[in-house]
Amino acid sequence: MTDKASNSKYPSLLSDFNLGGIPLKNRVVMAPLTRARAGSERVPNELMAEHYTQRSSAGMIIAEATVISEQGRGWIDSPGIYNDEQEAGWKKVVDALHAKRTPVFLQLWHCGRASHSAFHGGEPAVSASAIKIDGDTIHTPDGKLPYETPRALETDEVASVVQDYLNAAKRAKRAGFDGVEIHSANGYLLDQFLQSKTNHRTDQYGGCLENRFRFLREVIENILTVFPANQIGVRLSPNGIFNDMGSPDFRETFTFAAEELNKFKLGYLHVVDGLAFGFHEQGEPMMISEFRDVTEGPLMGNCGYDAETAEAAISGGHADMIAFGRPFLSNPDLVERFANDWELNPPADEKTWSAPGAEGYTDFPFHPDNTDAQGKI
């Protein structure tokens, strides 16, 4: 245990951890946060490198959701990993973090129906089934527009999307990432295939649990040809309502998914178990402890945790790491603040979350007593 951990109120949270051979200096993970600073060409840049480097005291960083293809787009100015320029941009970010000895994974993302034809030259977004998000509007390159009904992927099209995931993983490997996280949460494409609310298919990708899991399985099997299992994570959100999700059979679905993922002996399972973003109320929520019953490998909790609840989850054996999202927005030195029991900065203004430029991104102060702040401004 490090001195920082032993002298803190949160010794378990701040203790080091071996993630499948990747040493983590603490168990505080920076969650993937969609911040929309990559510009219209979706190329990671110096401002993004500064933002991540400021937060390099995290045990590990999961870089923001990154689209695997043009078809996967659905968020303005979010980064991509499907061309040479994007790959080179990410390499600069990775190199900056490795200089601080901070491991970084890349979250691979396809928005599916959480998109709009304005992102795709007038062509509809794709999903498991032609079921529209029940919501008001989506931010598009043409402004706020109503959600549209997506087009169901044809059976023989699924393989091409799996190939996009594989190509993205290859680029992530060349860019130097320590691993990848497969985004199968929050109502995006893989989650749309997994959940019965959005998957009404009658082919081999729909119906029974095994069929609904098939797409995710094929993505994992292909990425395993690029990264070893210990360098692959998967994110699930069993309780979430984001992007109009929540299935009556959610407990059965996510228990099955966790059991199947366990067979791959992946680096970690990342579960958005907290209810801070809402709960679909289809039954009792699935907490991280329930996943411990069916998961042998490392578990990461997420959503609404603070230092005390994170410490309790880890010291109680329910989780191995906790990912923090919003607290990292306005506290680049979040780990040091936990270690020294320093007060956190006021929460970031939501208007700056996806706004361009440094405001609300790289301009948050480090604690005045943090004399060894990395990247201090």
Residues marked as catalytic: 188
- Other C-beta atoms lying within 10 Å of the C-beta of residue 290: 19
Which helix (H) or strand (E) segment holds residue 109: the answer is strand 104-109
Place of tokens 């956190």: 344
The DSSP code sequence of 306-339 is: -HHHHHHHHHTTS-SEEEESHHHHH-TTHHHHHH
Strand 104-109 to 179-183 pairing: parallel
Structure tokens at 252: 């059965």
Which helix (H) or strand (E) segment holds residue 289: the answer is helix 288-292
Cβ-count burial of 279 within 10 angstroms (0-12 exposed, 13-18 middle, 19+ buried)? middle
- Other C-beta atoms lying within 10 Å of the C-beta of residue 214: 18
Strand 179-183 to 137-140 pairing: unpaired
- Other C-beta atoms lying within 10 Å of the C-beta of residue 96: 19
The DSSP code sequence of 53-105 is: HHTTTSSEEEEEEEESSSTT--STT--B-SSHHHHHHHHHHHHHHHTTT--EE
